[in-house]
Amino acid sequence: MLSQRDLDKVRKSAISAAHAAGDVILRYYRKRFDVREKARSSLVTEADIKSEALIRKRLAKDFPSFSFLVEESGQSKGAIKNEPMWHVDPLDGTTNFVHGFPLFCVSIGLAIGHTPVAGVIYIPTLDETFHGAKGSGAFFNRRAMRVSRRKKISECLLTTGFAYLKEEQKLAPEIERFERAHLEARAVRRPGAAAIDLAYVAAGIFDGFWERNLSSWDVCAGALLVQEAGGLVTNYSGAPFSMAEQELLASNGNIHKLMMGLLRTSSPNPRPSALLAN
Q: Looking at the chain, which residues constitute the CATH 3.30.540.10 domain(s)? A: 4-144
Q: Looking at the chain, which residues constitute the CATH 3.40.190.80 domain(s)? A: 153-265
pLDDT value at 254 more than 70:
yes
Provide the pLDDT for residue 39: 56
Strands (E), the chain: 35-37, 43-45, 67-70, 84-92, 105-112, 115-123, 128-133, 137-140, 143-144, 157-160, 187-189, 208-212, 232-234, 247-251
The CATH fold assigned to 4-144 is Fructose-1,6-Bisphosphatase; Chain A, domain 1 (3.30.540)
Q: How confident is the model at residue 35 (pLDDT cuts 50, 70, 90)?
A: confident
Mean pLDDT of the chain: 89
Provide the pLDDT for residue 45: 86
Domain 153-265 architecture: 3-Layer(aba) Sandwich (3.40)
- Range ranked top by mean pLDDT from 45-49, 141-145, 211-215: 141-145
Q: Give CA 123 to chain center in angstroms.
A: 12
Q: How confident is the model at residue 38 (pLDDT cuts 50, 70, 90)?
A: low
Q: How confident is the model at residue 269 (pLDDT cuts 50, 70, 90)?
A: very low
In percent, the amount of the chain with pLDDT more than 70 equals: 88
pTM for this prediction = 0.90
Average pLDDT over residues 123-146: 97
Provide the pLDDT for residue 76: 46
pLDDT tens track for 218-236: 999 999 999 999 999 999 9
